[in-house]
Structure 1
Amino acid sequence: MPYRNHMVPFETTEEPEEFRLKKTVFLGYTDVNAGSIRALLGITMKREYSDVNIPELCNARIAVELLGILDPRDKPFSPLQVWNLKYEQFSVILVNTILKPETCHHVCSWIVVMCTSRYTCCVDKIVVLSALRVDVPSSHVSSHLKRAPIYEKTINDMPRTKCPSLPGKSGMTDPFLSTLIQMVHVGCVPTCFLVVPAHRAWPGTARDEDGSKEVCEDLALVPRTYISQ
């Protein structure tokens, strides 16, 4: 199915003057093993919540659920939720549901509109975390590495890390990421994609056997590195 890259109108869940993204936006979604969403859900800093209601997600189910008892200070997870870290200049967008290919453009359009609207943001860049089934040419893989590296790909921006660039001939199949790439190009949004090669995980918690625990650990280091700078 071809991907459309036009913007879709939406209703904000709060008044524009109250709902503002911060300078750096981390984006996690339900990728091939939910590595990025699991990593960002592990952030424990004090935060403000906003649930986003997009009509196309009205019947969507949560992909990664909260284990244990909910802290009274926290809100339950929702299919599309934003966290503003109270004492940092960071926001977190969590796409915590498995998106159908025909739904991706609605969510990606909302993200780009929110990151470019003069009423709702002062965003400098988006940092997208992704665990991705990607075919990296063998010539780019170092045999001495014990685990897969994090690759970086930037659009409308300079590289932000010392991670190697994702080889141009790498193949991938990810409708959400493909749609988002098109839309940040069109919207001229400075975006950094940090990709960990991964495979589909087993249901349940992250574990060593399928590599999902390793992916979560690697991706969890990214926001910590930005915040500590």
Structure 2
Amino acid sequence: MIRQLVLELGHRPASGREDFLVAPSNEAAVALIDSWPDWPDRIVALAGPEGSGKTHLAEVWRAASGAEMIAAEKLAKADIPALVAKGALILEDLATLDPAGERALFHLINLVRAEGASLLITARDPVARLPLKLPDLVSRLRALPGAELGAPDDALLSGILVKLFDDRQLRVTPQVVSYLASRIERSVAAARKIVEELDRTSLSGKRPITVPLAAEILGRD
């Protein structure tokens, strides 16, 4: 079960992989993952831009289901029956699928349903809009239930920043969090990068993490 964390700007202990910050931009995807094994289909898809949290959610589901994980670009050379025999599978980054991989995915989808396994597919764009060539595969992907994750809003991005600072046992003021949330790219990757840079610069220069320090680092980019 994914726990909804309060998006406050106070101190919170570092959380494990099973914890997730829930907001309007990702709540449909969280609900879908949380509903396993009562999914609407044996196969579901998560779509969202880099840093939106789909990999984190896939990891949450992997921990719950014991799923095997494979990159789409490696599917063409994979042992499909052996993968399906695991009972649960995550296929990551569908856009990297090549023509041989398309045929493998078609076989995988059919076998997952035949064997009663579970398959989670992730992609940056909705799977129905990917430029795939195999007509039968395209029709199957268009029929899949799924959810999209959007870029973090202000509240979610602030919560992410707080969590990242807490994970490093760094105390910062709400003003620093607010300053960063309004200026960095709206993604987990950007939040992680700025927190890492602030931690490193603060430690090396023995300086507290303040709004001026944040402004200094953002000015370098």
User: Rg: which structure is higher?
Assistant: 2
Query: More helix by proportion, 1 or 2?
Result: 2
Judge same fold: TM > 0.5, yes or no: no
TM-score normalized by the length of structure 2: 0.32
Higher strand share: 1
